[in-house]
């Protein structure tokens, strides 16, 4: 199976206002459309897949703890010097609009970059092990990351709609919908282009062997975009201003 090349895109960033580096999708195939400037949708074999790159502030808000205004259970949190792993996170929404059972194989989800690197998503077990490894005693007080570890296992289901903090793939029933987050560790800052690949089995034999497989591809570029007031989180503004975006691909 061949992976199609990532198509370059040129984006002009505003130069007179503060900017930050974002990862934005672009349309590369006829079955795709931009639902918004940050959400890319693909429809194949009556399977609708939408992907959105998540900024740190969006993740903090997504996993905000009830009744704790300034606390988040964000399991992908970047908080050096203790939580130093930098995750690149995508929100994945897959809706089966067909009458057949579909299946997403988590272990076949991949992220490619324009430097020739390939990354696999971090699993729930790996993410839990990461946070457990950060438990320390500092100034005679334990730092346990309980909120993050609890969120790793967060999962809710209502009829055929499943929500997972860490997406695990699996069977997707007819008219079913799965939403979750896939995360990749330590993507180099000099990367200009990314390609997310999701393999969806849309038809199997009576023995469970795949007969029809869709390889869904999403392309993204790293660009500078202006900061708007709703994006601002006080702890992050200086980092946004100081971070350098790669030159536009030629």
26 within a domain of the structure (yes/no) = yes
Q: What is the pLDDT of residue 68?
A: 75
Asked whether residue 24 is domain-assigned, the answer is yes
Greater model confidence, 225 or 172:
172
- pLDDT at residue number 169: 95
Provide the domain limits for residue 236. Answer: 19-242
Structural domain contains residue 199: yes
Is 23 within 8 Å of 222 (Cβ atoms)? yes
Which tops the pLDDT comparison, 164 or 140? 164
Total-model pTM: 0.82
Question: In terms of pLDDT, which residue wins out, 250 or 169?
Answer: 169
The predicted-structure confidence for 179-189, as pLDDT tens digits, reads as follows: 999 999 989 98
Q: Which of 145, 6, 146, 25 is nearest to 85 (CA)?
A: 145
**3-class SS shares of the chain: helix, strand, coil, % to 5:** 15, 40, 45
Distance, CA of 27 to CA of 34 (rounded, Å): 7
Tally of domains within the chain = 1
The reported pLDDT for the residue numbered 44 is 92
Instruction: Kindly give the pairing relationship between strand 136-138 and strand 118-119.
Output: unpaired
Q: Residue 109 pLDDT > 70, yes or no?
A: yes
């Amino acid at each position: 199976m061949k992976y199609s090349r990532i198509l370059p895109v040129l984006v002009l960033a505003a130069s007179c206002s503060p900017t930050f580096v974002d990862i934005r999708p672009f349309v590369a195939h006829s079955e795709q459309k931009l639902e918004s400037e940050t959400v890319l949708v693909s429809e194949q074999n009556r399977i609708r897949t939408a992907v959105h790159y998540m900024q740190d502030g969006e993740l903090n808000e997504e996993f905000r703890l009830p009744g704790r205004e300034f606390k988040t259970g964000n399991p992908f949190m970047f908080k050096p010097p203790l939580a130093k792993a930098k995750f690149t996170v995508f929100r994945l929404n897959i809706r089966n609009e067909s009458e057949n059972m579909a299946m997403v194989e988590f272990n076949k989800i991949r992220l490619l970059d324009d430097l020739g690197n390939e990354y696999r998503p971090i699993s729930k077990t790996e993410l839990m092990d990461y946070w457990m490894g950060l438990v320390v005693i500092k100034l005679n007080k334990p730092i346990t990351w309980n909120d993050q570890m609890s969120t790793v296992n967060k999962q809710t289901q209502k009829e055929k709609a499943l929500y997972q903090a860490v997406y695990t793939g699996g069977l997707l029933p007819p008219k079913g919908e799965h939403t979750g987050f896939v995360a990749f560790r330590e993507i180099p800052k000099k990367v200009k282009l990314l390609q997310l690949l999701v393999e969806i089995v849309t038809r199997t034999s009576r023995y469970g062997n795949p007969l029809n497989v869709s390889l869904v591809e999403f392309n993204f570029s790293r660009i500078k975009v202006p900061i708007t007031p709703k994006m601002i989180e006080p702890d992050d503004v200086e980092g946004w201003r100081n971070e350098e975006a790669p030159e536009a691909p030629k």
